[in-house]
Structure 1
């Protein structure tokens, strides 16, 4: 039975999340940390997959993502798993004389050209991101979600959705589930997005991309590394890993099985050699189709991750973008459920994240344009190569790829507002990131003024007040940080409490203006 508009949803799950990928699992942990009852539904019966393990599952995590993971005490766990799996040896780009910092359309930029002064509010520490694999990421996030009390049901995909004013009815392959809110983290072909009637618009694909593990009769015919050719692009990591881009309009992606013969045809086409593939062990395809949901919310249905945006997997931006969605949405949805959200808090999720998604889609489109096998693209690529060898060019690319240049529009005038909070080393030996592991906001007062302590008390239970000096204040007198780690307000002077009060009231409910609990 589907729920009627009069059904009582007070005893069902607070939130059901469709999809147990990294985005859905991270969001489940965020909501459970805030005290919400969470159920994750996943269509796949098993968590593991060869495509999620090394080398196919290799992903780059941006500095912004590393900050988010550190703020939830997950970064060290993931780094330990990476060390055990020897991930740096898996990445072909690590086998270079210079230390690579990332790439744009396959054109690398290097650490020795990056100017850290580009980000004056970024304290010294890990900046350039890290490599991990999807198996490790999902394992760590699933362990955290279940430890917090979230439930994960595998082999139980969403089939139909019915929404009322008070809740959601979800028919699955294992029966009917009811929730007060539903979040679709179920990929680019999202059932949840389609059920909500949310549009998905963008640009059609120009290419089919391939990643394959093969056996070659004559491997010496392929040069190791990444190579642009007159017919496409290929990357060869000896002895068996091949990645290719064929500008066929995306004709082969998910349209028919990927066979040894087909891989050989495409490899010969894009490499310009008569190399022979004797065996195909594993292969996957992708395209550069770039689409974004017209809205991230429809009533009690929300979208995050690939359900909200898809694009070519160039430079690992998709995973980082989706995890950014999750940490931005989690505390806002939890506050709405608890009833201590100020007006408009949940709507700020789409307002903040939709522009970020649009930027990443354009970043992806620009890379594809540079990869086209035509004289114009090759000429432009030569110019880009020169630019990324300059300090300004490399620093610009790093800011985009690492997320260090990302600033959400939160309406503040201080340049730090909307950026990821610096990980201040406090006088008591702790760090700011550690103090955010409660999932609450943080008012850090370097001057220990009683008026600011009283101000933070207005948002008791939502904001922790800390009076402490730091090794480097970066010229600040105080800082108000949201639960997701974004700076809501930053003060350079001792007499700007009124601005702090206005910023805090925008993000946190006060006793004089409480939020309205959602039924």
Structure 2
């Protein structure tokens, strides 16, 4: 249930963009009792690019855990199962292989049976393993339903055109209407109006290629070899009868510069594939690039950025969506505390401090893949070395760790290695899991020690954290944990003695107690 907070007559927060990041952030805020308005430019949320095959996205461990902790994962898995049952749609994508893929680096595939999961001691087996693949359409359906259920107002066909901000609030212009809010968050994509109008510096590197996602009819469906192929002019991936993704190293010259016609798509495909393949019909075509840029600041006063509005890069490895969902989880509870007026000093600024380094790392991961994909002898030689390394158990495990973000750690200070990481999903004797204890969006003091001082201390912050005393099947040698609303561990106790510095840790993240 939402927290007992009474919003002001104007909106507390306006979110620009009703994609997955904007919707998840809206859910997080509304869960905390904040009045949210989402403004979305598109009138219809459904497009072919959000469905199979091109709408398929891999969810990393932090994204899966976030959905599980908010009670959204089961619904998403049900939709995923229904989509998978459609054999026509399932056959359209190229992930069906004899061995279960665990991901790829610059098109170099590695497999789940090569990954050593025992190297991640704080990641306990969970309800969806180390990764699942879902469509953008399915994810947005689940998040929209939850947002509406919580009371989020969503206005479609009302894209943000501009805004003015003061120290006290923001006035937003969308179409012929004007809206007022205490805060504005730009979740409006790589060409973000909020970012541009807000004067955020967007630094990085320019494109080296134009990528194409194409659904076409081929005169001969066997003219191309199925699978992923590096060529003298780029790379292409093909799944029969006509699903094609390709990369043309043209410095991004054809991205959004001209319509992708049948003739253009055929010419690029012939050049990259080195074949005389003939396209007889073009059903769907979209372009993308490897341009990699990041806002130098995620906040200017009352205006913040999240998702692609804060960082863009190539879709190689499927990191962009997950990076944005992580932004939303990190920001939601912190911004809600700022709205309520009970945020401790520096809490909202910790959003940039924690998430900017994560974004920078993902951008470099994307750039490294592009460097291996260049159609030149040096890149091909380096790719051959990487292919041998990735085929080893150590190499596959390293890549899986980076792509799944299973060991993601924010720098919160403290020496214990679990601080700053995601809370392990402890399983209790009755089969329930610790992740379900975060459904209400509150902080959590998880107590395995039956220390009588902990509930007394937790009671001082009774409006903001829950104290739960239960012993899991495997406590990983821990006595107690303080967990933030986003599931990040902020404090641990490994000794049965009186816990030290717990009050300071709670005050740091949840403000002064009663």
* Counterpart mapping for 1:205-224 below 5 A: 205-224=207-226
Structure 1 CA distance, aligned partners of 2:430 and 2:33? Answer: 29
Matches within 5 A, 1:46-125: 46-86=44-84, 89-90=90-91, 92-125=93-126
In the superposition, relative to structure 1, how do residues 92 and 50 fare at CA in structure 2: closer, same or farther (>3 Å)? closer
Query: What secondary structure does 2:367 align onto?
Result: helix
- Aligned mates of 1:468, 1:45 — CA distance in 2: 48
Report whether the alignment pairs 1:286 with 2:284: no
Q: Quote the residue 1:164 is aligned against.
A: 166
Q: Is the 8 A contact 1:291 1:310 kept in 2?
A: yes
1:178 aligned partner: 180
TM normalised by structure 2 equals 0.96
8 Å Cα contact 1:127-1:402 kept in structure 2: no
What SS does the aligned partner of 2:13 have? strand
CA distance in 1, matches of 2:53, 2:90: 10
Select 2:449's aligned residue among 420, 432, 447.
Answer: 447
Instruction: Please report how far the alpha carbon of residue 340 of structure 1 lies from its aligned counterpart in structure 2 after TM superposition.
Output: 1.9
Q: Deviations over 1:240-279 (max 9, x none)?
A: 1011100000000000100000010010001100010111
Q: Note the C-alpha offset of 1:118.
A: 1.4
Match of 1:136 among 130, 135, 138: 138
Aligned partner of 2:3 in structure 1 is none
Contact kept, 8 Å, 1:479 with 1:490, in 2: the verdict is yes
Tell me which of 394, 403, 420 is aligned to 1:401. 403
Match runs of 1:194-213 below 5 Å:
194-213=196-215
Counterpart Cα distance in 2 of 1:350 and 1:420: 18
Q: Does the CA contact (< 8 Å) of 1:92 and 1:225 recur in 2?
A: no
Partner Cα distance (2:77, 2:492) in 1: 31
In structure 2, the residue matched to 1:490 is 492
Q: Which secondary structure does the structure 2 equivalent of 1:86 belong to? A: helix
Q: Distance in 2 between matches of 1:472 and 1:239?
A: 49
Aligned residues: 504
Deviation per CA, 1:494-514, whole angstroms, max 9, x where unpaired? 2362232222221111236xx
TM-score, length basis structure 1: 0.95
Q: Among 36, 46, 53, which residue is 2:34 paired with? A: 36
Deviation at 1:94, TM superposition (A): 3.1
- Structure-1 separation of matches of 2:31 and 2:109: 39
Aligned-CA RMSD value:
1.3
Contact (CA 8 Å) 2:292, 2:367: kept in 1 or not?
A: yes
Are the equivalent residues in 2 in contact too, given 1:428–1:468 (CA < 8 A)? no
Offset, 1:91? 6.7
Unpaired runs of at least 5, structure 1:
1-8, 513-519
Candidates 189, 207, 219, aligned match of 2:191: 189
Deviation, 1:104, is: 0.6
- Give the direction of change, closer, same or farther, for the CA distance of 1:460–1:276 in structure 2 (3 Å limit): same
Deviations along 1:206-256, whole A, 9 cap, x unmatched?
Answer: 000000000111222210000000111000000010111000000000001
- For residues 79-111 of structure 1, what are the alpha-carbon distances to aligned partners after superposition, in whole Å with 9 as ceiling and x for unaligned? 000000117934744321211111111111111
Asked if the contact 1:199/1:293 (under 8 Å) is kept, the reply is yes
Aligned-partner Cα distance in 1 for 2:162–2:385:
50
Q: Which moved more, 1:136-145 or 1:428-437?
A: 428-437
Segments of 5+ residues of structure 2 without an aligned counterpart are: 1-6
Q: Is the 8 A contact 2:317 2:403 kept in 1?
A: yes
Paired residues for 1:316-465 under 5 Å: 316-465=318-467
Per-residue CA distance 1:289-318 (angstroms, 9 max, x = gap): 000001000000010000000000011100
1:94 is paired with a residue whose SS is coil
**Cα offsets for 1:340-371 (capped at 9, x unmatched):** 21111000000000000000000000000011
1:3 matched residue in structure 2: none
SS at 1:364 equivalent: helix
Deviation string for 1:476-511 (max 9, x for gaps)? Answer: 111111000111112211236223222222111123
Verify the 8 A CA contact 1:19 1:42 in the aligned structure 2: yes
2:207 counterpart SS class: coil
Distance 1:103 1:498 in 2: 44
